[in-house]
């Protein structure tokens, strides 16, 4: 078992990761009867995409002797209706200004990001738009 989720009432849940004991609170978003005081479940899906991309890019970076610490991922979730679902996720990846990557290194990192397990698990109808910024060593 990976986790347990407890419904706390008032459209709030508490998820516990069993291996670490870490907890995450979710709230329904304000546009769906909630308070929006925490990540919504769909926010977590969109955020999981960026976190997974970062993790797999980190593995690739380590394998190829690259230091990508400080790389920032900005996530925008786009909801669709009928049925209500995540229609799209936009991820902008910003490398640190001082980071200089060759075209080959940029391709390795991009491939890692676009083949991460979450990216591959999302439904094909969920449009995923990923843009990479920097990496040219422009200070």
What are the tens digits of pLDDT across the range 55-81?
999 999 999 999 999 999 999 999 999
For the chain, the maximum distance between any two Cα atoms, rounded to a whole number of angstroms, is 51
Q: Which uninterrupted H or E stretch holds 62?
A: helix 41-63
Write out pLDDT tens, residues 18-54: 999 999 999 999 999 999 999 999 999 999 999 999 9
Q: What is the mean pLDDT of the chain?
A: 96
Beta strands in the chain (DSSP E): 3-9, 12-17, 23-27, 72-80, 85-94, 127-133
**pLDDT above 50 (res 130):** yes
| CA within 13 Å, CB half, 125 | 8
Query: pLDDT, tens digit, for every residue of 81-115?
Result: 999 999 999 999 999 999 999 999 999 999 999 99
Q: Are strands 12-17 and 23-27 parallel, antiparallel or unpaired?
A: antiparallel
* Distance between CA atoms of residues 25 and 38, nearest Å: 6
- pTM of this structure: 0.93
For the chain, what are the domain ranges?
1-39, 40-139
Cα distances (Å, whole numbers) of residue 81 to 19, 49, 89, 106, 125: 35, 21, 15, 36, 13
CA angle 87-37-121, nearest 5°? 30
Q: Is 90 exposed, middle or buried (0-12, 13-18, 19+ CB in 10 A)?
A: middle
CATH top class, domain 40-139: alpha beta
């Amino acid at each position: 078992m990976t986790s347990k989720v407890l419904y706390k009432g008032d459209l709030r849940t508490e998820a516990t990761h069993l291996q670490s004991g870490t907890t995450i609170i979710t709230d329904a978003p304000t546009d769906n009867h909630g308070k929006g005081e925490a990540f919504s479940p769909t926010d977590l899906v969109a955020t999981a995409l960026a976190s997974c991309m970062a993790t797999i890019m980190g593995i690739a970076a380590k394998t190829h002797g690259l230091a990508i610490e400080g790389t920032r991922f900005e996530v925008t979730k786009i909801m669709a209706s009928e049925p209500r679902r995540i229609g799209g996720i936009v991820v902008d990846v910003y490398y640190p200004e001082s980071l200089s990557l060759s075209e080959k290194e940029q391709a390795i990192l991009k491939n890692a990001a676009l083949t991460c397990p979450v990216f591959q698990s999302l439904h094909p109808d969920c449009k995923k738009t990923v843009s990479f910024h920097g990496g040219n060593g422009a200070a």
